[in-house]
Each structure stands twice: as structure tokens, then as C-alpha cells.
Amino acid sequence: MRHNGAVHERVMVVEDDPELRRHLAASLTEAGFDVAVAATGSRALEVAAKEPHPELIILDIGLPDADGRDLCQAIKAQGSTAPVIFLTAREALTDRISGFGAGGDDYLVKPFAFAELHVRIEALLRRPVVATDSSGIVLDPLAHGISGGNRRVDLTPTEFRLLATLMARPGEVVRRRSLILAAWPDGAAVSENTLDVYLSRLRHKIREIGTDSTIVTLRGVGYRWQ
């Protein structure tokens, strides 16, 4: 999704699980970011205060010495304006709304595909997300729109999140529940009928820009961008 190596934004990963921390650091470096890591809240505060300051922070909510939400507030109190993506365990889903209250800009439920994280990062850094398939579709996080060829259509924030989640995993099945949780902060309360209404509107908008790519429904399983 990053087409030139001119800019290397600094991203800080705060995660106590050594395996996940290493995996994220390696994947982000591979994607062209300048990565700093911290395994604890106290280390994260030090790293965030030092030059170069992180421009985006990926923050695990469950840390050994701090609650990620308190840590987020502490980092912001130090003067950081970097957007924050919370990582949360599935068991802690009810925490997500208070996570947003604590100054988080987005969240991902573990386990997640790196492509999904990457799309969220690009969106928060307000860069266009280009489809990795042949559709030629570009998602514009700045204007919440999609374009292809010479046409462009506006999306609502929820439609944007739905499409970004599907486009992050081209050809892969995304389960209904995962899609709901990715698109709505209070996903637990969203019915599958509501999801269907949103997807049908989204398919209509995708057709308007004149591409063959679409969201395919696999009955009882989920959805696929193809």
C-alpha cells in the first residue's frame, strides 16, 4: 500500500507478548515504517517522549504494568498527538468503547491479519488505500470516498470501515461477526440484518464507480471481496 519509500513514519508498538511484538515490528518495518517497540507501559512513556516522536501508536490494552487506556491518556498528557490503535483480546470486547473514550482512534481485536492493521494505519495517517487486486479502486480516508476510473462516490464512516476491512483481505472470507466488530465500535449490539442493509448499500455504491469487483456473500459463512 506504500508506493514509495520517501517517508518513513515512526510507529511505536506497545505489546508485552514477545512473539506478537516481534511479528508486528518485522511486518511494519517490511511495510516501510520506522518502528520503535516497548514491552511495558513505563518503557512506552520513555519512547514516546524521545525524538523522533512516534507519529502513530499501536497499543495493547492488557499490559503487565499498566492499563493501555490509562497509558494512552498518559502519553497524550506528555503532548503526543499521534493517533492510537488499541489492540484488545476478544474477551475484553466490552472495553472497546471506554478505549475510545481514553483517546484511542481505532482498535483491532486479536487475532487480526496484518493487512487489516495496515489498512487502519494508512487510514489514520490519512493516506489513500489502493486495492491490492485489479479493481483499480482507491479508498480515500481523508474524504471517506471510493474512486475508480474517473468516478468517485462518498462513503459513510461505517461503509468505509466495512470496505477497508474486506479490501484488506482480498479473496479471503471475512466472517459476519468479524466484519460487524470491525465496522462498529459497539459491534456486539449490531444485528446481521443491519449488516446486510449496509452491505447492500455499499455494493450499490461500488457498482456506481463501474468496477467488476464486488462483495460476495457466502451464505452462513461470511463475505469476500473479489
Enumerate binding residues for Ca ion (CB under 5 A). 16, 60, 62
60's enclosing H/E stretch is strand 56-60
Question: Minimal CA–CA distance to 25: which of 45, 40, 11?
Answer: 11
Query: For residues 45 and 146, which CB has a smaller minimum distance to Ca ion in the complex?
Result: 45
Question: Minimal CA–CA distance to 176: which of 186, 160, 156, 190?
Answer: 190
Query: For residues 96 and 161, which CB has a smaller minimum distance to Ca ion in the complex?
Result: 96
Query: For residues 16 and 34, which CB has a smaller minimum distance to Ca ion in the complex?
Result: 16
Question: Minimal CA–CA distance to 223: which of 184, 174, 167, 159?
Answer: 174
Q: How far is the CB of 211 from Ca ion (least distance, A)?
A: 40
Interatomic CA distance for residues 189 and 199, integer angstroms? 17
Query: For residues 62 and 187, which CB has a smaller minimum distance to Ca ion in the complex?
Result: 62
Q: How far is the CB of 41 from Ca ion (least distance, A)?
A: 11
Q: How far is the CB of 89 from Ca ion (least distance, A)?
A: 7
Q: How far is the CB of 70 from Ca ion (least distance, A)?
A: 14
Residue at grid coordinates 506528555? 78
Q: Where are the alpha helices (DSSP H) in 89-144?
A: 95-101, 114-124
Cis peptide before 128 (omega within 30 of 0): no
The residue sitting closest to Ca ion, measured at its beta carbon, is 62
Query: For residues 20 and 153, which CB has a smaller minimum distance to Ca ion in the complex?
Result: 20
Q: How far is the CB of 61 from Ca ion (least distance, A)?
A: 7
